[in-house]
Structure formats: structure tokens, C-alpha cells
Structure 1
């Protein structure tokens, strides 16, 4: 790994360092824009069409890039300057949402336009998120990674899942154009924050690089050789498939007259924010819980809490009860995210991290568009609660095979 002298000074410090907090501020603004944008897009889709399958198509388009672009994004993150890739991705999203805002002003109502915007923003998200995870170990030293990842989790959930959905629900009530321009402005503010992060963040010198195809293959091989990472990847693929199937049609269950919950767009955004309350709480609880039950316990807890969050709407048709389940699910998400990111950073050489993250997400996040498509199609032929029940069962199925996440196994692979 090649760092600037300033970067090495930060890594040697017992503190996370000023540049980490500047990076976190920019990432938080980006997460706020993302959370607002995604909720608003689904609400616009519901106002445009009453078909659950077409509405779910927005989630499919937004997550499809994880199947199509994750592997090359990882290789590019390991070849290029990770900060510059993040800057380019946020500029692209800011410009795209500004263009969409103009279309909204011109009253161009098209489900196809929603799909194109969702897909374009999704491609930028793939490159941004892959580089964002790979850059953290270049700024903070290895023993501080759990702390840095926990702070990132709290900030991301507060912005992406708490403030973002609430903001999106409120703004869409004012107008789709206002919502789009706001998200565009937030992404461009995030660009300004990232410009303040000094240093060069390239993983390897130019002479050490091979072809893009060989780079991608090296990341995939490393992931497949690791029993720990391979097992985690498969199980998060199952839970993300189920969660995405539910998320893609939840707006039909929750919003408007005739829906089960009968919420307004603002009420829907507020309901989604309570998951972030749990995630923020979970981020604060990671350190003590990790000492008590270890990384395997934290990750296993997430599977159980996600099944609860998905399954409660089957039997409870009250927004308060559903919201309580979302809080519990949010706690599990935080426990999972901090643990998995930290384990992956511990087991992966820095020069390979971008490619391993992308190979992991090809399966884990690539399952999301497939889940969104499945959720939409299932909702056309069965009750919404039936989709929820089926996906809760799929989530619980991920409990099998978690023995490979033991502390001894993780330590063994780390020492190899």
C-alpha cells in the first residue's frame, strides 16, 4: 500500500485523525442525499403507476448495477485514487438529479425516466461505496478499524435511514422537482467535503498492476479461498434478497388509501426513519456486545432481527408495532455492518480490498435487484403479507452454516 507521508502520520496516531472526520462528514452528506433520493423515487413511482411490479422496478433498476458493475468497480478502486473515484461518483449523482429535477419541472411523467435515473445513480453508488470502504484502512490504523467503522455506521444510518427518508417524504409532498434539486445539492456539498481530504489514496504503484481482468480474478479468488468471507457473502446474499423483495413492495403495503397502514408520504418516510434509530443504537452497542458475544454472535443476531422485522407486518397491521420491529431490525443491521466490514478489512490485504469488497457485493448486493424483481412479481399473484411471510422464512434459512464465523477461524485466516 502506498501512502503519502501525511497519511502514514495519521495511521500512526492513536486517534482517528482529522482527515477521517472530514471524510466522514462528506460521506454523511452523501448518505443523506441517497436516503432522501431513494424514498422520493419510490413515492414518485407509486404516484405514477398502481402496479406493484412496475413500482418494484425502481428498486430493481437502482440495485441492478451491483450485478453489472461491482467487479470492475473494485478493480478500478484498487488501481486508481479512491478519493477521486468517490468525487467523480458524487458529481455524477449530483448532475443526474439536477437533470431529473428539470424533467420534473417540465412535467415529464414517465416510469422509464424513473428507471433510468435509478440505474444511473446506482452505477455511481457502486463506485462510490466500493472506494469508500477501501479508503478507510488507508486513513486509520488497523486496531482502530472497529471504532472507525462503528462511527461510520452511526453517521450513515442517521443520514441514510433516519434524516434522509424523513426529508424525502417531506420534500416529495412539496414537489418532485424540489426533492430532486435538494438531493443534487447535497451530493455536490459532499463533493466539497471530500475535496478537503488531503493526500493520495492509491493502493498499489502503477508498475505493479496487471490487466483489469486479472485484477478482478485475483479479488474473486481471494474471496473464494476464504471460508469466513465466502460464508458471510452467501448468507448476506440470502438476507439481502429477502429484504429487497419486501422493500420493493412495502410502499404498496404502507402508503395511501386502501393500503394496510394508510400512511401519507411523510408518514411513510417517518416510519422508515425508525429503523435508523435502531441502527444508531446498534452502532453504539457494538463495542460492548462484541466483547460479550464476539463477531459471530453479532452477525447471527442480525439474521434473527431481520427475520423479525420482515415477519411482524404479517400479523401486525399497526404502524407503531411495525415501527418497533423496524427499530429491532435496525439494531441488527448495525451489528452486522460493523462486524462484517471489520472482519473483511482484517482478513484482506489492503491492495486487494477494493476487489474483495466488489466480489462480496456482486453476490450480497447483487441479490437485491433479483429480490426486488421477485417481490414485485410475487405481489402481483399473492397478498403482500404472503410476500413478507415467505421472505421471513428465507431470512431464517441464512442461520444454517454460521459455524464458519467462529473467532478461532477468523483468527486463523488473519494469521495466514
Structure 2
């Protein structure tokens, strides 16, 4: 009599993976937030042109428009942890190069632009991979909880905590800010090495052309009415936020407000606090979008470099008030379509689907 076929034993991922992912999110988002403050302020020391300073924000967000689709396909094909480690190595190298130029007094706008774009590409890779690695790193029953915690830590650290930290570190010296940020990225890479599990795509996964896979991903998002509408609304809101962020450094530090770099950090703290409050108020929507993190980020953040560029040009040609006013009016116009589309019934239907 033949023996019965062996039954595959599925080993649940260790619980420590959850805390590693949360710690990684905290550290890297704090570091990212510091760089979003440090790079524009470093540019302000080299120029007082709103357009040239806004170019830093444009280049930091441009990868969401130019590379996110192809990186999304890459994440579906390659080991997600290796991609995240590669992103950390890129960030560490960028910090090292920039630190050397600051210490030697050779920092320049072209170098800042290259570093900004490199950090932007690394951010797309890291965030898209992090969104896809949760099912492999965390037991299925914990997916929703971990996604919610990671999202909360991202908003808290990238906005509320990271902004003042960046301002104070820069006020203490750019060398200190860059060195501390580089060390944080190193620690993030070490944490990723401690993850246990299999993070490569399934061996039997069908391989098709990049164009076909991109089209399939966008078609899935477009066929879900609520997610489609929310992604478009988020695109406009994220664009407005990017526009303000692009011109605030030069307006606040070398412009009419004449703030110190540490005072600028406090200003960003107030803006970050609003983001934390908003996260708490829209919990159901935030949890829903968390399941389609990569797709929603792709559409939602793709407009940010365009808006930052427009803001810089407006501030340069017609003044800060017009630039701020235009995007404030655009944001205000989104309230009505949001209230009409995001209803309890719509959330329930999309959640079931």
C-alpha cells in the first residue's frame, strides 16, 4: 500500500516581523521628513529664487510620475525585502555624498537636484515594496491591523514628528542633519535583514509584458468606482500639498516671514498636526485605501511634481499670495465631490468587493 501524500506545513511568519516593519516605517519616515526640510533649506542658502528652490520638491516627487508604474511591476517580480534594502543603500550613498560636499563647502544646486531625484526613486521603491511585503511578513489575521499601524506611523513621523526634528537638526548644522539621517537609514537596512520569511513572488506566477501588467493594474483600480474617485481626489489634494511645500521654505526663511530654520520646523509641526487629526477622522477610508496602497499612491502622488513646478513658477512670476491662493481654492472645491462620493453605502460596497 502506498503511503499517503505528504501535507505541506505552512509556517506562520514570526510576530517580530510586525514590529520590525513598524520600526522601519518610523525610522525611514523620520529620516525622509528631515530630508524634505533639509534639502530645500540647503537650496535656500544657495539661491533665493522660488522656482529654483521649488525644483527640489519637483525632483523629489517626480519619480511617482515617471517611474512608479514600472517599479510596481518590478515589485511583483523581485524579492521585496531586497528591493527595500536596495532603496536604503541608495539613501545612505546619497547622504554620504551630500555630507562630504557640505563639509568641504562644495555643495551646489545641481548636486542637490540629483540627490533629491535619487531619494525620490528610493522612496517609490521602498513604499511600494513595503505595501506588498505585508502579506508575506505578517499572519493573515494581522494584515489589517499592521496596515493601519504602518499608515498611522507614516503620517505621524513624516509630518508631525519629522518636520520639527528636521528644522532643529538643520538649525544645529547641515552636517549633523545629514549624518544623523544617514545613520537612521543604516539602522533601517539592518532591521530589514532581521525579517524572517520568503519575500519573493511565487515561483508559478505568470510572466507577461510590463505594459500588459501595468494596464491590468490600472484597469483594476479604474473599475472600482469609489477607489477611482478617491484616487483622483487624492491626486489633486496631494498636488496642492506638494505645491505649498515647494514654496514654503523660501517664503518662510528668506521671504516675507524671515523665520529662523528652527522656527520653520515649528511651522511644519503645525501642518503635520493637521495631518494626524485628519488621519483619525477618516479612518474607514484610510483602511480601505490601505489594501490598494501601491495603486492609490501611484495615482494620488503622480500629480505632485507637476503642482510643485506650477507653484514655483507662480511664486516667481506673480508672487506668493497668488500661488498659495490658487491651490487653496482648488483644495476647497474638492469638498463637495468628496461628500457626494464617500458615503457609508459606497464604503460598504467597495469593502465587500
Tell me if both proteins adopt one fold, taking TM over 0.5 as the criterion. Answer: yes
Gaps of 5+ in 1: 11-16, 279-327, 347-352
Q: 1:5: which partner in 2?
A: 10
Structure 1 distance, partners of 2:138, 2:344, is 23
Q: Following TM superposition, by how much is the alpha carbon of 1:21 offset from its aligned partner in structure 2, in angstroms?
A: 0.9
Q: 1:268: which partner in 2?
A: 264
Structure 2 distance, partners of 1:397, 1:62, is 27
Report the CA distance shift for 1:333/1:41 in structure 2 as closer, same or farther (over 3 A): farther
Structure 1 distance, partners of 2:77, 2:51, is 39
Q: Is the 8 A contact 1:104 1:177 kept in 2?
A: yes
Alignment of 1:166-205 (within 5 A): 166-205=164-203
Match of 2:92 among 91, 94, 100: 94
Q: Is the 8 A contact 2:99 2:179 kept in 1?
A: yes
Q: Following TM superposition, by how much is the alpha carbon of 1:385 offset from its aligned partner in structure 2, in angstroms?
A: 2.5
Match of 1:396 among 321, 332, 335: 332
Structure 2 distance, partners of 1:342, 1:205, is 30
TM-score (norm 2): 0.89
Alignment of 1:235-246 (within 5 A): 235-246=233-244
Structure 2 distance, partners of 1:104, 1:5, is 51
Structure 2 distance, partners of 1:34, 1:102, is 19
Match of 1:361 among 282, 286, 297: 297
Structure 2 distance, partners of 1:188, 1:341, is 30
Match of 1:259 among 235, 256, 259: 256
Report the CA distance shift for 1:140/1:207 in structure 2 as closer, same or farther (over 3 A): closer
Q: 1:295: which partner in 2?
A: none
Structure 1 distance, partners of 2:105, 2:47, is 15
Count of residues in Structure 1 that have an aligned counterpart in Structure 2: 345
Structure 2 distance, partners of 1:339, 1:101, is 42
Q: 1:128: which partner in 2?
A: 126
Alignment of 1:174-323 (within 5 A): 174-256=172-254, 259-260=256-257, 262-276=258-272, 278=273
Q: 2:4: which partner in 1?
A: none
Deviation per residue, 1:118-176 (Å, 9 max, x gap): 00110010010111122224444666555333322342234322333223222323332
Report the CA distance shift for 1:76/1:145 in structure 2 as closer, same or farther (over 3 A): same
Q: Following TM superposition, by how much is the alpha carbon of 1:179 offset from its aligned partner in structure 2, in angstroms?
A: 1.9
Structure 2 distance, partners of 1:123, 1:369, is 13
Q: 1:383: which partner in 2?
A: 319
Gaps of 5+ in 2: 1-8
Q: Is the 8 A contact 2:160 2:276 kept in 1?
A: no
TM-score (norm 1): 0.76
Report the CA distance shift for 1:268/1:395 in structure 2 as closer, same or farther (over 3 A): same
